[in-house]
Amino acid sequence: MPPVILTPVSRVASAAALVPAFAIIPTMPRDASRARRVFQALILLAAMAVAFLAGMLTERLQAHAERDAMLRRYDQALREHRARVMEAEKWQQSGAPKR
């Protein structure tokens, strides 16, 4: 009987032949290119997640800066209004005749 030379395809076939007939999950050949594609897809997914979170952070920082500017303007207007009210009250107290 001549020697049997196992090529990658025949190795898979011989490994499949060793699997019992009642096996639930048959053995699958390892495909390096498929594993590489899955790994690249995971890297791409992680990069997209990081980019998404960076975009959210940038938007939040910009919105916070705009909110701070608006609150500063509101605070300044409120201080000016209170100063005018106090000035009017002082004017009424000093100019009004006392009873």
Per-residue pLDDT at 43 exceeds 70: yes
Q: Within a domain: residue 60? A: yes
What is the pLDDT, as a whole number, of residue 50?
98
Percentage of residues in the chain with pLDDT exceeding 70?
Answer: 66
Whether 79 is covered by a domain: the verdict is yes
Q: DSSP assignment, residue 5?
A: P
Decide: 29 and 12 in contact? Cβ < 8 Å.
yes
Measured CA to CA in angstroms, residue 61 lies from 10, 16, 56, 75 at distances of 60, 58, 9, 21
- For residue 24, the model assigns a pLDDT of 67
At residue 52, the pLDDT reads 98
Asked if the structure places residue 72 within a domain, the reply is: yes
- Please give the pLDDT value at position 94: 86
Number of domains in the chain: 1
**Does residue 63 lie within any of the structural domains?**
yes
The boundaries of the domain holding residue 60 are: 54-99
22 versus 76: the higher-pLDDT residue is 76
